[in-house]
Amino acid sequence: KTRVYKFGNNFADGNSKMKNLLGGKGANLAEMSAIGIPVPPGFTITTEVCTEYNLLGKDKVVDLIKTEIEEAIFNIESLMGSKFGDKDNPLLISVRSGARVSMPGMMDTVLNLGLNDDVIIGLATKTGNERFAWDSYRRFIQMYGDVVLGMKSESKEDIDPFEEIMEHLKDKRGIKLDTEFSVQDLKDLVYDFKDAVKKRTGHDFPTDPWEQLWGAVIAVFNSWNGDRAVYYRNMHGYPADWGTAVNVQAMVYGNMGDNSGTGVCFTRDAGTGEDVFNGEYLINAQGEDVVAGTRTPQQITKLGSLRWAELAKVEEAERAENYPSLEELMPEIFKELNGYQEKLEKHYKDMQDMEFTMQDGKLWILQTRNGKRTGAAMVKIAMDMFKQSLISEKEALLRIEPSKLDELLHPVFDPKALKKANVIAQGLPASPGAATGQLVFFADEANKYKYTILTRIETSPEDLEGMNIARGILTARGGMTSHAAVVARGMGKCCISGAGALTINYKTRTLKVDGKEYHEGDWISLNGSTGNIIEGKVATSEPELSGEFAEIMKLSDKYATMQVRTNADTPKDAKIARSFGAQGIGLTRTEHMFFEVDRIKAMREMILADTVKGRKHALEDLLPMQRSDFEGIFEAMQGLPVTVRLLDPPLHEFVPHQLETQRSLAEDMHITLEAVKIKVAELEEFNPMLGHRGCRLGITYPEITEMQTRAVIEAALNLKEKGIVAKPEIMVPLVGTLAEFESQEAVIRETANKVFEERNDRIEFLIGTMIEIPRAALIANKIAKYADFFSFGTNDLTQMAFGYSRDDAGKFLPIYIEKGILKVDPFEVLDQEGVGQLVEMATQLGRSEKPNLKVGICGEHGGDPSSVEFCYRTGLNYVSCSPYRVPIARLASAQAAI
């Protein structure tokens, strides 16, 4: 089989469909080369070789691919007219990882590979630029040292050992910038760098280009199992056996003088989705200079440059002089680049994120990929591309990642609070949204407070985990394409980058701006949409949804056949869910209505009552409260079905456990403190999740079921008088035997009939059950004979199918996931293999008895896209989820049906 795929000069062995084999980057390089985009020639070692390496080890794998690699290098040599390791006319190469999906920063790149003390002379002569040659050499040793030889320091407060050597030399020379080093300085650096390598690793820096190449290839393979990659993989659920490909390409240089440069560009705006070509570049620089943020990048287009200047408060004369756009500075190259970006977007039919380099006036495209984007941009781009006839309606829907809609649905800063806000500085609006949190300066401390703002000079791939935890990310350096910006946008996390006015001191853990100092733990707020950095906490408010969002939702409803309801316990939640398009309520947890202060007292009296009479007395107090809640909810839902579940949780959750509260309760109830204590002790359970809860409560205390039923029916009748239709569906929780359901059903019917008689009026209502105990799933046909509907309580069903206590799983599930025992948390993503079987079976059994049985799901899984898809396949009538997840579920339901 072929293990090495070549590309270059309008030819390629592979193509873009071979992502699994060639990785995303390799597949795209092949495709680009084939369609006539000028990519530097090279080759891709397949992901399968990575897997072979993991099995066989280095030596065997080198044997397997040696001949193919030699041939591929020879191919590059002939296309570039130079020779790998040659003194006079050297070919230098880059080595990069490339998994089938983009994993930012999984492994750094090694550039300029092939240099040694002989080759450097050739490079200097060939380019006629000694400074450039030695600068390339020192960069190579630094990168190779860090990436391949593991030179990076362990301590987070220390900087890279090579940076330290450079800082030292800068001090000595009294200079500030890398560009101020003389040729002799660079030669000294190369010498010192090699010395540092020898000291730390005990080996000489490898001088044989082939040895360098093999070292880099193996390092890429190893990086697949490095901490960062494993974390990223786990975060996204990517399996370990995917492996990474290795891309080797001829080097082209953006740092060969003022006719060279390098940049990153996007075919549309990755933050807002606006259809404008945009990006950043630097003259006389290499790729990492643009993302590292050590120099201020310039904009590609004139429009972008003007917008940037406005944000950065740079005067027009200053802008035109020092920060001209590529469009202004090199109109010919810009025209060519603009042509390629149009071609690539049309070809891939998606927003592209491209990297390019100009070497001595010749433009090379280094890579293209579907660009990461914010949730808002995702929605806008999909709808715009549909309107531009680039993609179909269905494709537009499938372009939306349901879980990413989440970003659009969360609060933004309250405009009123924002008016009063004290803006202390401004950076680039790298990733929109609002974030308030306490300052932390190290990624591994991002969980130090509940809400944190991770503040760094610049971020690097090691910070990934902390960035994920933090509420927002703030960096002092770096442009819109810096690591922080790109990663934050991918995560949908608010981020401000390149806030140059900030002085960050890691040692003292402080942030200084305009003479004022802020310390770790101080509150700060970020407006990722404007770049404003605000002192203190700022209140947030509900988001405004864009027109495109509404269009996507409308399209979703056009294709979705399975309905989406919501889990809501209050009229307020019900209203929010309605505004998001919920088609009913799938679960009202009535116990949540009792948690308010004035209500819990009545509830406690009810629980502590010793006699039925005493209990009924307390329930009389609760009745009007429940009734008015139901009226509010029914009214909010305007005739849509509302599933009301009878009291579910263990009673001890309601009793006071603190002495103070016990004492005041005893006073209120005119009983002794002792009596309260005894009752509390009586209610204590060893295993509350499997204890006296669910219908077990209604069966031991039927008067509770009576009161709740009365509240539901009376509320519905009251609304009927006002001309509002209410469609209650009363649901019995935690049923495991038929008799349990029958007993509760009888109480409900009797009570309802009593109310109908009293009021001399009636309404339609249903009585159904939750299927959340495995035994209920097993006898679902029997239950269906009596129940009007089923609703899967997959929280409990998961608990009981796995035998993982919901209350205790947090202690071991993270370890299970880390060790790969479980791929994902089964309480978040429905376990289709096991729990799913129970759902399927119960649905089939239920419908075998009652073909039109209404079946839904109201466990947490109702808002998880993959679980929604499963529910669709299983033939459920609806899923029900929390209000903010309703749009996600609507889209997922549509996608399942497409």
Q: How far is the C-alpha of 414 from the C-alpha of 435, rounded, in Å?
A: 12
Residues 6+ apart with CB under 8 A from 897: 559, 560, 561, 562, 872
DSSP 3-state assignment of 428? Answer: strand
Compute the least distance from the CB of residue 770 to ligand PEP, in Å. 7
Using CB under 6 A, which residues numbered 490 to 519 contact ligand PEP? none
DSSP letter at 463 equals G
Per partner kind, with CB cut-offs from 5 to 8 A, the member of Mg ion, ligand PEP, none near residue 859 is ligand PEP
According to the binding rule CB under 6 A, does residue 794 interact with ligand PEP?
yes
Tokens representing 814 are 């993270």
Q: Is 795 annotated as a binding residue?
A: yes
Nearer to ligand PEP, 289 or 772 (CB): 772
According to the binding rule CB under 5 A, does residue 569 interact with Mg ion?
no
DSSP 3-state assignment of 511? Answer: strand
Q: Is 772 annotated as a binding residue?
A: yes
Per partner kind, with CB cut-offs from 5 to 8 A, the member of Mg ion, ligand PEP, none near residue 587 is ligand PEP
Question: Catalytic residue at 652?
Answer: no
Nearer to ligand PEP, 417 or 689 (CB): 689
Compute the least distance from the CB of residue 796 to ligand PEP, in Å. 3
Tokens representing 575 are 């209203």
According to the binding rule CB under 6 A, does residue 795 interact with ligand PEP?
yes
* Site track 805-844 with ligand PEP (rule: CB under 6 A), x = hit: ----------------------------------------
Q: Is 527 annotated as a binding residue?
A: no
C-alpha distances in Å from residue 637, one per residue of 455, 556, 762, 844, 885: 44, 21, 19, 30, 17
According to the binding rule CB under 6 A, does residue 589 interact with ligand PEP?
yes
According to the binding rule CB under 6 A, does residue 648 interact with ligand PEP?
yes
CB 352 within 8 A of CB 266: yes
Using CB under 6 A, which residues numbered 556 to 575 contact ligand PEP? none
According to the binding rule CB under 5 A, does residue 772 interact with Mg ion?
yes
Q: Which one of the spans 100-108, 446-454, 507-515, 764-772 is the region binding Mg ion (CB under 5 A)?
A: 764-772
User: For 441-450, which contacts have Cβ atoms below 8 Å and span 24 or more sequence positions?
Assistant: 441/504, 441/506, 441/509, 441/511, 441/520, 442/156, 442/466, 442/506, 443/467, 444/156, 446/470, 448/520, 448/521, 449/521
Within a 10 A sphere around the Cβ of 259, how many other Cβ atoms?
Answer: 14
Nearer to Mg ion, 350 or 796 (CB): 796
Per partner kind, with CB cut-offs from 5 to 8 A, the member of Mg ion, ligand PEP, none near residue 787 is none
DSSP letter at 323 equals S
Per partner kind, with CB cut-offs from 5 to 8 A, the member of ligand PEP, Mg ion, none near residue 754 is none
Q: Which one of the spans 351-359, 711-719, 792-800, 819-827 is the region binding ligand PEP (CB under 6 A)?
A: 792-800
Q: Is 796 annotated as a binding residue?
A: yes
Nearer to Mg ion, 479 or 736 (CB): 736
Phi-psi region of 883 (alpha: psi -120 to 50; beta: other; left: phi over 0): alpha
According to the binding rule CB under 5 A, does residue 796 interact with Mg ion?
yes
Q: How far is the C-alpha of 829 from the C-alpha of 825, rounded, in Å?
A: 6
- Displacement of CA 125 from its chain's centroid (Å): 49
Residues 6+ apart with CB under 8 A from 762: 717, 756
Q: Which one of the spans 219-227, 278-286, 363-371, 791-799 is the region binding Mg ion (CB under 5 A)?
A: 791-799
According to the binding rule CB under 6 A, does residue 859 interact with ligand PEP?
yes
CB burial of 58-83 (b: ≥16 within 10 Å; e: otherwise) equals eeebeebbeebbeebbebbbebbebb
Compute the least distance from the CB of residue 733 to Mg ion, in Å. 6
Nearer to ligand PEP, 15 or 795 (CB): 795
Q: Is 445 annotated as a binding residue?
A: no
Compute the least distance from the CB of residue 752 to ligand PEP, in Å. 23
Q: Is 589 annotated as a binding residue?
A: yes
The DSSP line for 580-642 is: TT--SEEEEEGGGGG-SHHHHHHHHHHHH-SSHHHHHHHHHHHHHHHHHHHHHHHHHHTTSEE
Opening angle at CA 558, ends 555 and 559, nearest 5: 95
Number of residues that bind ligand PEP (CB under 6 A): 10
Catalytic one of 50, 483, 652, 871: 483
Question: Catalytic residue at 483?
Answer: yes
Phi-psi region of 460 (alpha: psi -120 to 50; beta: other; left: phi over 0): beta
DSSP 3-state assignment of 337? Answer: helix
Per partner kind, with CB cut-offs from 5 to 8 A, the member of Mg ion, ligand PEP, none near residue 437 is none
Catalytic one of 494, 858, 871, 881: 858
Q: Which of 27, 383, 748, 858 binds ligand PEP (CB under 6 A)?
A: 858
Q: Which of 327, 631, 796, 864 binds ligand PEP (CB under 6 A)?
A: 796
In sign, the C-alpha dihedral spanning 247, 249, 255, 259 is: negative
Compute the least distance from the CB of residue 796 to Mg ion, in Å. 4
According to the binding rule CB under 5 A, does residue 793 interact with Mg ion?
yes
Nearer to ligand PEP, 838 or 858 (CB): 858
Tokens representing 43 are 């080759």
| Residue labelled with tokens 């109702």 | 862
Nearer to Mg ion, 745 or 772 (CB): 772
What proportions of the chain, in percent to the nearest 5, are helix, strand and coil? 50, 15, 30
DSSP 3-state assignment of 449? Answer: coil
| Residue labelled with tokens 């770096």 | 478
Compute the least distance from the CB of residue 890 to ligand PEP, in Å. 20
Q: Is 478 annotated as a binding residue?
A: no
Nearer to Mg ion, 589 or 754 (CB): 589
Compute the least distance from the CB of residue 734 to Mg ion, in Å. 6
According to the binding rule CB under 6 A, does residue 587 interact with ligand PEP?
yes
Nearer to ligand PEP, 498 or 859 (CB): 859
Q: How far is the C-alpha of 830 from the C-alpha of 810, rounded, in Å?
A: 17
β-pairing, 523-527 vs 532-535, is antiparallel
User: Catalytic residue numbers?
Assistant: 483, 858
Q: Binding site membership: which residues?
A: 589, 645, 772, 793-796
Q: Where along the sequence are the contacts to ligand PEP (CB under 6 A)?
A: 587, 589, 648, 772, 793-796, 858-859
Binding residues for Mg(2+): 772, 796
Q: Which residues bind Mg ion (CB under 5 A)?
A: 772, 793, 796
**Which residue ranges make up the annotated binding site for substrate?**
589, 645, 772, 793-796
